[in-house]
Amino acid sequence: MLYTIIQHAHSGWRWVVLILLVWAIVSAFGKWRSGASFTEADRKRAFFAMTATHLQLLFGLVLYFISPYVKFADDTMKDPLLRFYTVEHIFIMALAIFVISGGYRRSLGRATDTAKFKTQFYYFLIGLLLILAGIPWPFREGLSGAWF
């Protein structure tokens, strides 16, 4: 019961994470290039994208304890499904969230507005690419992933 709820929350929330990240990245790029000034709205946009990843981390951590795909056994590393969720998924996603959070903090400390946007852009883009690579998309065979 709890498992099904959290699993669906985690699966569906990915879209919120992806949309907010893409929005923050596109916006930071445009404003960096046009030399716009960095406002509170720009900080908040990045903050919400980062916070969405933190909530996803929370759902993921709960799942990590209750999912049948997470198992510490002798054959975990030999089974692609168990290895993916027990090791690869958590590692790539934790790294992505670390990069995004670091980028958020760093961007605020930059001296110029252009540098703030540029820092946000690069860190969030790297984070997004890691997340895209770490999602068990349905077209990735053997990971039993769904679209929602």
Residues near ligand HEM, by CB under 6 A: 7, 10-11, 14, 17, 53, 56-57, 60-61, 63-64, 67, 69-70, 85, 89-90, 93-94, 131, 135-136, 145-146
Residue number, 38 or 128, with CB nearest to ligand HEM: 128
Closest residue to ligand HEM using C-beta atoms: 60
Residue number, 15 or 30, with CB nearest to ligand HEM: 15
Helices (H), the chain: 2-34, 40-66, 80-83, 89-109, 113-134
State in angstroms the smallest separation of the CB of 114 from ligand HEM: 28
Residue number, 31 or 56, with CB nearest to ligand HEM: 56
Three-state SS letters, 63-88: HHHHCCCCCCCCCHHHCHHHHHHHHH
Residue number, 17 or 24, with CB nearest to ligand HEM: 17
Q: Residue 58: which residues within 8 A CB-CB, separation 6 or more?
A: none
Distance (Å) of CA 35 to CA 113, 114, 116, 117: 8, 6, 11, 9
